[in-house]
Amino acid sequence: MSKKLLLEHIDVPGINTYEVYRQKGGYASVEKALKSMTPETIVEEVKKSGLRGRGGAGFPAGMKWSFLAKPDGVPRHLLCNADESEPGTFKDRYLMEKIPHLLIEGMIVSSFALGANVSYIYIRGEYMWVSFILERAIAEAKANGFLGKNILGSGYDLELYVQVGGGAYICGEETALIESLEGKRGNPRMKPPFPAVKGLWQRPTVVNNVETIAAVVWILNNSGEDYAKIGIGKSTGTKLISASGNIKRQGVYEIELGLPVDEFLNSDEYCGGMANGKRLKAVVPGGSSVPILPAELFYKTANGDARLMSYESLADGGFATGSMLGSGGFVVYDEDACIVRNTWNFTRFYNHESCGQCSPCREGTGWMLKVLNKLEHGQGSMEDIDLLWDIQRRIEGNTICPLGDAAAWPVAAAIRHFREEFEWHVKNPKLCMERNYGLLESTKKFELVS
Ligand SMILES: Cc1cc2nc3c(=O)[nH]c(=O)nc-3n(C[C@H](O)[C@H](O)[C@H](O)COP(=O)(O)O)c2cc1C
């Protein structure tokens, strides 16, 4: 059994209520932090833990916190990023829905560490019912003296608000989130200045993912050093993974970082292996933005090492033969899945979600979609595959925010690893048309492509 730092009590009946959460030791980290620690010692513990941001980029949380200048009287803010719109990712929803007080507790100790007296949880609009769960948990915490004025008699004040998001994937990008929270259209800002210097209302601000903030609770209840002992190398601690696709047991799992991918996919404790006796074709290990890995590169790196669920191992080989842990959205494709159709589908999403500010992303995602439309519907040519490659190459690295990269990487990886499937679409226009008009079972088509 792997370690459970976040989900240990997830199945306890009533754990979503203050009463049961408290019986299980909830809010102990707030008592410890406010009575026996200083903001500086908390930041130090988080640094020692090696905790990396769980929103996708994996930036060390303690380092990000230490970018805030010393308090100088200007208000500062902690923003929890609960926008979670990356296709394949649903771990934050699970945590907030099942054990909302863990996030509230993490927000209190983290806000105290950062010197923030007003903090926000920015939650995606489609999670409306979860926002109600959070509102109720906040009211309970406040009624029990953990929020509001003079928390536990310490002299520390904190107001925590839930803001329902603007209904766009781009609002999960930290500076777009800030714009949206300020009541504007969620367009990313140029960086620098980074939010630590000029964030919400031009004030020092930290944006962290739900899971990152929740992990701080365990770190304070134990120690940064204890946390750093869990996991592997620079991938310390545990990670929530949302597993989907044609596997036996879809769901959210907490794994110790460093777990072999083979064990995660095939053991009954986690995904339980492929469903319906199908063979594995490919895995997107970290949400729709990260490169897809064909089965052979999923199990083993290009050097022949067993692939592990860690930031480093999944990225081994760079984008030529590796991928990323990303947000932990683990999507499994079996032998019947059509990679061209999947790439077309992802590209529809990115094209729809591009904010339109940068031409390479606004125009490029549109052109990629046009070309993929042709290929998927049996009207493409071999030159179109090269054109597609060329367009994605011109988007990557040429936009204000990483949404452009997120749109380009899946296309690049699909062509790199599954070019023969793109070519099959060119060579078999009739079968493509028939499948798209429902005349052929989708499963038949890829018997031709091993
Ligand atoms: C288009 C786009 C969407 C994003 N969506 C999310 C999101 O839903 N949740 C999240 O935590 N981070 C998201 N991020 C990453 C954030 O910009 C930011 O890096 C993160 O919230 C920082 O938290 P962390 O350091 O705890 O990971 C997104 C980034 C981009 C470019």
**Average pLDDT of adjacent 10-residue blocks, the chain of 450 residues:** 88 98 98 97 98 97 95 95 97 98 98 98 96 98 98 98 94 98 97 97 98 98 98 98 98 98 98 96 97 97 96 96 97 95 96 97 98 94 98 97 97 97 93 71 47
| Cα 81 to middle of ligand 1, angstroms | 7
| The pLDDT of residue 167 | 86
Q: Are 68 and 206 in contact (CB under 8 A)?
A: yes
Q: Helix (H) and strand (E) counts for the chain?
A: 20, 13
Under 8 Å CB-to-CB from 447, ≥6 apart: which residues?
none
Residues 449 and 424 sit within 8 Å (Cβ to Cβ) = yes
Q: What is the pLDDT of residue 71?
A: 87
How many Å lie between the centroid of ligand 1 and the Cα of residue 223?
26
* Ligand 1 pocket, mutate which of 189, 209, 210 (most atoms under 8 A from CB): 209
pLDDT for 225 equals 98
* 242's tokens: 């949302």
29, 71, 407 from 388: Cα distances, Å: 51, 50, 12
As a CATH number, domain 259-334 is: 3.10.20.600
User: Considering the domain 18-229 in this protein, what is its CATH number?
Assistant: 3.40.50.11540
CATH tag, 339-448: 1.20.1440.230
Give the global pTM: 0.95
Nearest CA to ligand 1 atom 24: 53
Q: Where are the domains of the chain?
A: 18-229, 259-334, 339-448
Give residue ranges with CB within 6 A of ligand 1. Answer: 53-57, 59, 81, 83-86, 169-170, 172-174, 207-209, 212, 401-403, 406
- The pLDDT score that the predictor gives to residue 349 is 97
61-64, Cβ contacts within 8 angstroms, sequence gap of 24 or more:
61/208, 61/212, 61/216, 62/224, 64/196, 64/206, 64/208
Please identify, by atom number, the ligand 1 atom nearest to the C-alpha of residue 211.
26
